[in-house]
A and B are shown apart, each in its own frame.
Chain A
């Protein structure tokens, strides 16, 4: 009876694992096959990869899209971490009644669904387009500006700051460091793991963001990777081999981040619930 249960457990988990992995294997295999073979359901690797990659580079602006996505993701990650950690640190270390009230109000913004503010944001960027063309509609800046300051990261850093030894702040003050010096020279280096975890979340969110870039980025040379893939996928005569190559390229950075930094990755997810 016990043995039977064991067998059933392994069977169940194996099916779940296969279902989870299969789409990945399929896209890797399809990347090396001709479009007709993909439609015919071919499940063994082919020799068409170079051809697919060449077509992808010729027919789409994947290079530009990759560049745009990287620029947006890197700027977003750096600014998100900087601004979020400053605030998380500020709320926890310089705690006061007034700041606690402000904190609770900011946290409420986590409940606001993006769909609810999308239209006013779009109109806001539309209005400033004429005066400030560098951050108006259809600019990379417009795609990341509303995403860099979020209550989630303030909350995240505040939770993690609770574990930061306050004696280090006192020691810094005695050594004559300014409050900013303490933050940049003591807090930041000691909280490396927290920053790593936050960086992973911020990078992935930005890399995969779809709706807001879809709304603000209109010209083809401003496209990000998700927009490019969405357009390819919606085409009437899709070249499956080419699309699969694009999807693999799009998934590569996040998959790499996951496999190289698995520990931080999970820490990042958990950091959002602690406390």
Chain B
């Protein structure tokens, strides 16, 4: 209290207060924006999920919508498909990206720049654009079938888009094509920071290339692998653009994802915003749970 009378001290104190206040001005727009466009809708979605009805006539029904989820075959299909994409596609892509990055990190390799750019190139396409291209490439008389037939790998065309099993494969191949190079770039730049002497020491100790990969490369890249797998998991849980434009969720609902089901519930079928919001909360809960598990399993605990 007595220090407050000291003029210099008071000046620095008010200066600090003033600076703190200006600091809030720098961030206020973002705080308002994120509250309005993320947190407020989040609360609204929860309130909506407790209501039911068509269009704008909604009434509170408690947790009925959540019960409905368990008896909704389309939801169960969409959920199973989404998890299937997640379990097959994310590991496949991460392993492929790791292999590419390790091969491209070899300093004696020629045409490295070409390979790197080529494999990364799919990441610059818009999701809709490449989805439409894939739809045509994988058509019944599309180039993929033409190629496989001419190489005698298959004897009759594969129904890439109209068979429930192959349609899922097509979606997985498409996403893998689009995102492998993108993930590879993260691993490549992480590898460039790795101390080369570690590999030399390992070589002297007689470690094979395989052993080096599993006992040096993988542990060193763990943080970045964790980061990319969380990003990919969140992305896959929200999968929409590709499915919408390659198969529209078909045949039947065999490639339907949760995001697409939410879209259909709100804008394609008779709008049922309450139930759609309920389904959307499932996505949120899945994102939170899966990110948490990944942190726990792979993350450093420090």
Q: A102-B27, A120-B44 are in contact. Are A211 and B129 (CB under 8 A)?
A: no
Q: Bits for B31-75, please: 1 = Cβ < 8 Å to A, else 0.
A: 101100111111011001000000000000000000000000000
Residue contact A90 to B26, C-beta cutoff 8 Å = yes
Q: Bound state CA distance, A145 and B41, in angstroms?
A: 14
The yes or no answer to A130 lying at the interface (CB within 8 A) is no
Q: Bound state CA distance, A120 and B104, in angstroms?
A: 46
Q: Bits for A17-55, please: 1 = Cβ < 8 Å to B, else 0.
A: 101110110110000000000110100000000000000
The one of A93, A204, A258 in contact with B23, judged by C-beta atoms closer than 8 angstroms, is A93
Q: A9-B103, A87-B26, A96-B23 are in contact. Are A115 and B280 (CB under 8 A)?
A: yes
Residue contact B136 to A208, C-beta cutoff 8 Å = no
Q: Give the size category of B's interface with A.
A: 35 or more
Chain B interface main SS type: helix
The yes or no answer to A229 lying at the interface (CB within 8 A) is yes
The yes or no answer to B186 lying at the interface (CB within 8 A) is yes
Q: Give the size category of A's interface with B.
A: 35 or more
Q: Which residue of A lies closest to B282 (CB)?
A: A116
Q: Bound state CA distance, A182 and B114, in angstroms?
A: 42
The yes or no answer to B137 lying at the interface (CB within 8 A) is yes
Q: Which of A56-64, A133-141, A190-198, A247-255 contacts B (4 or more CB under 8 A)?
A: A247-255
Q: 8 Å CB contacts to A: which residues of B74-94? A: none
Q: Which of B3-11, B157-165, B195-203, B258-266 contacts A (4 or more CB under 8 A)?
A: B258-266
Residue contact A111 to B128, C-beta cutoff 8 Å = no
Q: A89-B26, A207-B126 are in contact. Are A119 and B280 (CB under 8 A)?
A: yes
Q: A115-B258, A115-B280 are in contact. Are A16 and B119 (CB under 8 A)?
A: yes
Q: A120-B45, A251-B125 are in contact. Are A115 and B259 (CB under 8 A)?
A: yes
Q: Bound state CA distance, A9 and B110, in angstroms?
A: 11
Q: Which residue of A lies closest to B174 (CB)?
A: A23
Residue contact B280 to A118, C-beta cutoff 8 Å = yes
Q: Bound state CA distance, A230 and B263, in angstroms?
A: 15
Q: A119-B48, A270-B186 are in contact. Are A19 and B177 (CB under 8 A)?
A: yes
Q: Bits for B184-195, please: 1 = Cβ < 8 Å to A, else 0.
A: 011001000000
CB distance from A85 to the nearest CB of B (A): 9
The yes or no answer to B234 lying at the interface (CB within 8 A) is yes
Residue contact B39 to A109, C-beta cutoff 8 Å = yes
The yes or no answer to A240 lying at the interface (CB within 8 A) is yes
Residue contact A210 to B29, C-beta cutoff 8 Å = no
Residue contact A115 to B234, C-beta cutoff 8 Å = no
Ranked nearest first, the 7 interchain pairs of A and B with the lowest CB-CB distance are A94-B23, A90-B26, A149-B33, A233-B132, A120-B44, A120-B41, A117-B41
- List the interface of chain B (C-beta within 8 A of A): 19-20, 22-27, 29-31, 33-34, 37-42, 44-45, 48, 100, 103-104, 106, 109, 114-115, 118-122, 124-137, 141, 143, 146, 177, 181-182, 185-186, 189, 224, 227, 234, 237-238, 240-241, 244-245, 248, 258-259, 262-263, 266-267, 273, 276-277, 280-281, 283-284, 287-288, 291
Q: What would 22 A/B residue contacts be, using CB atoms closer than 8 Å?
A: A87-B31, A94-B22, A94-B23, A96-B23, A106-B30, A111-B284, A111-B287, A112-B284, A115-B262, A115-B283, A117-B41, A117-B280, A118-B266, A119-B266, A120-B44, A122-B266, A150-B34, A210-B127, A229-B132, A230-B132, A250-B128, A257-B124
Known: A20-B181, A119-B48; 10 extra A-B contacts, CB below 8 A, are A13-B119, A17-B115, A94-B20, A95-B23, A113-B238, A120-B44, A124-B44, A230-B245, A233-B128, A270-B186
